[in-house]
């Protein structure tokens, strides 16, 4: 974490999720001066503890008084600092309608960007709407589908500056649960990776998604009977689960212009997987996109 007290932000952007709190010191023009983060995400905080956690994280910056804070993510959920009620699709990404936190002292003006909900099929997002707003701010008149891979991957149909519909897939979290909490844990340890096995499992599951149920245990049996390596098993499980996601998300990507937001290994896998289906997805770096969304919200105040 930076300890540079010479940093004089005009305002502060905050990305406050389930596991992490990340603050950006910004200029009036939306340039990044400095950033810092802590592990004081929603899952480790009572509602009354948010203000102190934020103040502690940004205390080393030379803040204006009052200081405007614009925050996105789970901080606006019912279990967060204060609820910023969901807006319903079809709607803009919501950075034009932040909600003021009622009590945070006279020296801080804290605004929370509301999440977005879809009533049928039931779905919700908190944080991704800010990335979508940021992406649209950096890409004028962009229509298509934005894919945000992660613990809870999202596919979001965007048209004419609005979120039209979206679906969430628990792919990352299901991978974690199956690979650590079932008998497969004995066959998937380590970090090795067999890319050819990923590709085969992806292709098989995408073309025959109904076979997913019978594939999982074979990852264990292939180890017991044929000494399959853990790198092959990990890659096969990942290929199966991303393949199942792509099979279900097909109405979102088939024949569409696709952008992937993210810069990690998981996004590489999604990008590769889509390329196997003939889709050349655009890539955007997640941090810059999030900041662009926070800037859009700040400018709307």
Binding site for a copy of itself (CB under 8 A): 86, 117-119, 121-124, 152, 167-171, 173-174, 176-178, 180-184, 209-214, 216-218, 220-222, 224-226, 228, 241, 244-245, 247-250
Name the residue with tokens 């689960």. 241
Residue closer to a copy of itself, measured from CB, 159 or 176: 176
- Report residue 224 as tokens: 């017991």
Closest to a copy of itself by CB, 37 or 170: 170
| Contact of 67 with 12, CB cutoff 8 Å | yes
- Closest approach of Cβ 30 to a copy of itself, in Å? 32
Backbone angles phi, psi at 294, to 5 degrees: -65, -40
- Cα-based torsion angle of the residue sequence 172, 176, 182, 185 in order, rounded to the nearest 10 degrees: 120
Residue 218 or 276 having the CB closest to a copy of itself: 218
Task: Name the token pair of 80.
Answer: 């967060």
- Edge to edge, the sheet with strand 153-159 lists 162-169, 153-159, 144-148, 258-261, 282-284
**Least gap, CB of 250 to a copy of itself (angstroms):** 8
In the complex with a copy of itself, the residue whose CB is nearer, 2 or 180, is 180
**Least distance (Å) between residue 175 CB and a copy of itself:** 10
Q: Among residues 68 and 153, whose Cβ is nearest to a copy of itself?
A: 153
For residue 75, the minimal CB distance to a copy of itself (Å) is 16
Task: For the CB of residue 171, give the shortest distance to a copy of itself in the complex, in Å.
Answer: 7
Rounded CA-CA distance 301/296 in Å is 9
């Amino acid at each position: 974490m930076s300890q540079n007290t010479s940093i004089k932000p005009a305002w502060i952007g905050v990305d406050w999720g389930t596991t992490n709190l990340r603050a950006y010191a910004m200029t009036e023009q939306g340039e990044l001066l400095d950033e810092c983060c802590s592990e004081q995400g929603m899952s480790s905080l009572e509602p009354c503890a948010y203000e102190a956690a934020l103040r502690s994280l940004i205390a080393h910056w030379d803040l204006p008084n009052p200081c405007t804070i614009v925050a996105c993510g789970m901080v606006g959920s019912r279990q967060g600092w204060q609820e910023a009620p969901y807006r319903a699709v079809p709607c803009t990404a919501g950075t034009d309608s932040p909600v003021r936190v009622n009590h945070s002292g006279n020296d801080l003006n804290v605004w929370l960007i509301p999440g977005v909900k879809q009533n049928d099929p039931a779905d919700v997002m908190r944080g991704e709407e800010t990335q979508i707003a940021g992406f649209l701010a950096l890409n004028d008149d962009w229509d298509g589908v934005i894919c945000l891979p992660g613990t809870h991957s999202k596919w979001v149909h965007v048209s004419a500056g609005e979120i039209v519909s979206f679906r969430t897939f628990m792919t990352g979290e299901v991978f974690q649960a199956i690979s650590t909490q079932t008998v497969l844990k004995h066959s998937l340890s380590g970090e090795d990776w067999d890319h050819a096995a990923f590709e085969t499992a992806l292709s098989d599951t995408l073309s025959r998604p109904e076979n997913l149920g019978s594939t999982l245990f074979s990852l264990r049996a292939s180890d017991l009977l044929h000494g399959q390596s853990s790198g092959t098993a990990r890659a096969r499980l990942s290929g199966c689960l991303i393949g199942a996601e792509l099979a279900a998300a097909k109405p979102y990507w088939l024949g569409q212009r696709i952008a992937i937001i993210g810069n990690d290994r998981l996004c590489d896998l999604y990008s590769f997987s889509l390329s196997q289906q003939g889709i050349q997805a655009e890539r955007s770096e997640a941090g810059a996109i999030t900041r662009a969304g926070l800037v859009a919200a700040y400018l709307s105040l």
